[in-house]
Structure 1
Amino acid sequence: MQPRLGDLALHIARVSLCASGVGLAVRIESATLAAAFEGALFFASFALMHDVAHGALRLPRKANELALALSAALMLMSGHALRLMHLRHHARPLAPDDAEGAPARLPLPRALLGAPLSALALRVEAFRVAGPSGRRCQLAETALNLASLALLLASRRPALLAVAATATCLQLTMAVWAAHVPHNAPAWMLAAARRLAFTRSPIALSLGYHERHHRIPNLPCSRLALPSPDRTWAHRPCKPSSIPLERRGPPRRSDR
């Protein structure tokens, strides 16, 4: 299968535009703009990481692994940890051993209060179930996350501190906006999200068509609203060479 270059280009354009906004905000020392653009960059990076985690862009394995690591690094997160937990969620959605989906089984107030702990629990669980190779990747990515955060904090520049605070806040609340809300969204919210599908916003599409994403996980998010998805790809398993061992079979300790 050929790489989906159009979808990749759209992701790169979004990330580049948002990153440029962050750079401009830092240059003019605007903490408010830095926080706003960092929020946009976080969600753009999350959308890219999500498509890459599912192999939806059909990239060669090495390119896919690099894109996974870099897109998550922009969120100060570990791509390999995120992918492992997300694919376990898809294997057994909201099951007792679905750590990513656990907040969706809680009332919203409890999910919100427990969100920071959920974020830490996901990191710990991802490391626990990963194999040797996966653990090495997670350790390297986590070290990069901590180093990046330390540099941002050490700068003492308001704009960079705003970047660090925004990324940290969004990461620590993922249990709500990435887990609880998509699985418990009321009808009016789904309808509103679907009305915004024409914008190709990954937020609107992933919310409005979340059930479709679970049915066709390797369809790029930007295509979820299309009336006739590419079924030749959507229902065909990825080539084994492009799927890390952490992604194969039922949830269990990886062979990697």
Structure 2
Amino acid sequence: MNSASTAAHLRLTSSQRIVELARPWVLLALYVAAASPGWWWLAGPLAVAVCLAAFVQMHDAMHNALELPKAANDRLLTLSGLLLLKSGHALQVTHLRHHARCLSPDDPEGAPATWSFARVLWQGPYHILMLRRESLRMAPHTHRIQLLETGLTLLLLAGFVALYVRTGSAVGLVYWAVAFAMSATLPIWAAYIPHHLAAEHPAARAASAVAQVWTPVVASFAFHHVHHQYPRVPTALLPRAAAELPPPPAGHGH
């Protein structure tokens, strides 16, 4: 029995799916509400929360773990990627390669996990640009959607600048800065740490305990090894997968 059939019972209910679909957009609305009057002490953390929630949603869309029709899933991948100011389809190309050839020389997404931590710090901020180049090379049939999403991202950035020039509002520019910082550190928190932190590590165990209570963001790190074994399980259900499904083989996904 393959991993997909083993995990078939782990499906979101309709209400859970609504929560997963709405989360980043509700957080975005809260960010705008806090940033507009200049409550940056609240808006800053909310912007980080938006990016993390968008990352989880985009990741689930990459694997169609939310079980949406293909057209709807493609639109979600585009929209959640735009929340990160990225091409969702471009990131999907390198992410699926990561699952197929984890940490091999032909796995550009996983490359930072094989570097020294010092190299991750200095080269990591440029890594996202390398992934964009590699996604175009690996999947020429997706050039059109990748370039469309890139164009939409540039329009968003131009809109942020125009908003500031015309009204003095930094709402868009601050969000851009937060998204940029998240992208620059992505190789640390989405590649290096998940692949170096064993499931038995005290920090991983603590994250697992927190993930049982609520957050899919923590679940995506605490159960990274489980995700590699059962990629179609929604991030929100990874704690259940870890408890109910056969454990991955030692070293799987690391």
Unaligned runs of 5+ in 1: 232-256
Aligned-pair Cα RMSD in Å: 1.9
Matched, 1:189 2:203: yes
8 Å CA contact retained: 2:58, 2:81: yes
8 Å CA contact retained: 1:32, 1:162: no
Q: Which amino acid aligns with 1:123?
A: R
Matched, 1:176 2:193: no
Matched, 1:15 2:24: yes
8 Å CA contact retained: 2:27, 2:50: yes
Match of 2:158 in 1: 150
Shift of 1:13: 3.4
Shift of 1:139: 0.2
CA deviation vs aligned residue, 1:110-165 (integer Å, no higher than 9, x gap): 11211121110001110111123x11000000111111112213333233321110
8 Å CA contact retained: 2:81, 2:88: yes
CA deviation vs aligned residue, 1:45-102 (integer Å, no higher than 9, x gap): 1101111111111111101101110111111010100111100000011000100000
Matched, 1:137 2:145: yes
Paired positions, count = 229
Counterpart pick for 2:175 among 155, 160, 163: 163
Q: Which amino acid aligns with 2:221?
A: L
How high is the TM-score relative to the length of structure 1?
Answer: 0.84
Match of 1:204 in 2: 218
Work out the CA distance in 2 between the residues paired with 1:112 and 1:188.
24
Distance 1:146 1:32, change over 3 A: farther
Q: Percent identity over the alignment?
A: 36
8 Å CA contact retained: 1:71, 1:79: yes
Match of 1:68 in 2: 77
Work out the CA distance in 2 between the residues paired with 1:160 and 1:106.
34
Work out the CA distance in 2 between the residues paired with 1:152 and 1:94.
37
Match of 2:95 in 1: 86
Work out the CA distance in 2 between the residues paired with 1:107 and 1:159.
36
Q: Which amino acid aligns with 2:239?
A: A
Counterpart pick for 1:216 among 230, 235, 243: 230
8 Å CA contact retained: 2:53, 2:217: no
Q: Which amino acid aligns with 1:161?
A: L
Work out the CA distance in 2 between the residues paired with 1:163 and 1:40.
11
8 Å CA contact retained: 1:31, 1:162: no
CA deviation vs aligned residue, 1:182-221 (integer Å, no higher than 9, x gap): 1112612201111102233122211111111100000001
8 Å CA contact retained: 1:30, 1:158: no
